[in-house]
Structure formats: structure tokens, C-alpha cells
Amino acid sequence: MRKIFLKSLVELTGHRISSNILKKFTASRLSRTMNKSFVKVYKVNIEEMEKPLQEYSSLQALFTRKLKEGSRPIDQSANAVVSPIDGVLSDFGKVSEQDTFVVKGQEYNIKAMFGKKDTEKVFQNGWFFIFYLSPTDYHRIHSPIDGLIEDQWSCGGKSYPVNDLGMKYGNKPLSTNYRLISLLTAEKGKVAIIKVGALNINSIHPTHEHATIKQGSEMGYFSFGSTVVLFIGQGDFKIEESLTSEMKINYGQKIGSF
């Protein structure tokens, strides 16, 4: 029963009222009593957490934990593009000549993804990567490149689940959910990082306030499990050949290079 209750707290429904109630509970000190169960049920690696388990004041504090320095080495290859998150690389591939890509049987249009005129042109014939963060994963988002944050904006309305069922049967959640989008420019090309809200707009928290950003630097975090979509602009990008769909991946791990 305890396991079922815990899962209901972190694998929330898409109903705004129920999700807000549950989020308030997980941020309360009362939820701290669930921390040990959370670690056990979701097999969290406590050895790499920044602080001892007993120092996290709530379930949400544990969920948004930081890692010990050096836990995620950043690939040092020349012109490398690295994963921005810990999670599962659900899918990846080329954007078609019709500016579309398919995820879990649903076709997405890159113009709808960005919700902003002309931005999609940069990523025509480029690459897409879909990263899913489960309750088990570290939930902070990091920059895949050294670059300049050229633009940042939000779009989308209500947010629905982005787990397997939501992705297969939902109303194209990647392009309809609330999204916070960062457009990065580097010497070799452009990258877009789309943080997709899983429940409501308060689940995405940006933390980087400067115009420039270093590869591996924190950009923000999710309050609950969600998805990051990464677009690489057209050009000389070469994908890492070892990548496979549904593979586990950590932030800082190389996914390709310019």
C-alpha cells in the first residue's frame, strides 16, 4: 500500500486540481517521511547525491536533488554535443524534408514545436532527440554546448502526461504541453532545448540568468518527471554511432559532434 501511495505522488495525473494538491504535499515537511521509501522504490543512487538522505526536508527536495561534484564527467571531445539530462533517450533521428518527425507513432511538426514564426527554419533537415526523465532520475537540465543563449520563450497551454501512455495516446503532448524553449548559438551551429511540462507550468524552473553558458552548466530543473526535446540545426553535425533508442543516458555523455 505504501508503494502504491508513493507512486501516486510522483507519477501524477494530468488533472490540474489533483496535481496541485499532490505537489503541495510533496513540498511539505510531512512528505519527508516518504523519502526512504522513494529511494527504495525508485532505486535512487544515494552515493552520488549532494547531501545525505536525512538532510532533504521534503520529497520534492529529494526529487530535485543536486549531485556530488564530479558525478557526471563532461565529454571533452572536440566540438562535442552532450546529453542535457539523466534519463532515457526515447528516440532520435533526422527531421524529414516535410519538417516532421515521428515519436511513439505520432507525427510532429517542428513549427508547432517552437510556436514562434521562422525559428523552425534553422532546424529543417536537422536532428531531434527525445529524452524522458522518470521519477528515478536526477532532474536538473544542463547545457549540451558552450554557447550564447540567443532567445528564450514559452508556449503551450495545459500539460498532460509524457510517459509512454501519454506519448502514444495523448494529443501530441510534445507540441501542445506548456514548453520553455532555449535557443543556443555556438560557433559551429545552433541548438534548441525544449523543456516540456508534464503537469503544469510550475513544473519547469529555469536557473541560468546569463547570456552565455558553458557546456555542462545548469539551465534549470523539473519539479516532477518530464521530457526534454533537443534539436540540432542543419550543418555538419555527426551523430554518435553508439546511440540506440530507449538507452539509458547521463548528462555530459556525448551524443554527437559538430
Q: Which residues are catalytic?
A: 86, 142, 226
211 residue type, one letter = A
Apex 227 CA angle, 139 and 103, nearest 5: 155
* SS3 assignment, position 18: helix
Alpha carbons 54 and 116: distance in angstroms, whole number: 44
Interstrand relation of 100-103 and 87-94 (parallel, antiparallel or unpaired):
unpaired
42 residue type, one letter = Y
**Paired residues of 141 in beta bridges:** 220
Q: Which of 157, 159, 211 is nearest to 183 (CA)?
A: 211
3 residue type, one letter = K
Any idea of the CA torsion for 56, 216, 219, 230, to the nearest 10 degrees? Answer: -120
Q: Beta-carbon neighbour count of residue 3 at 10 Å?
A: 10
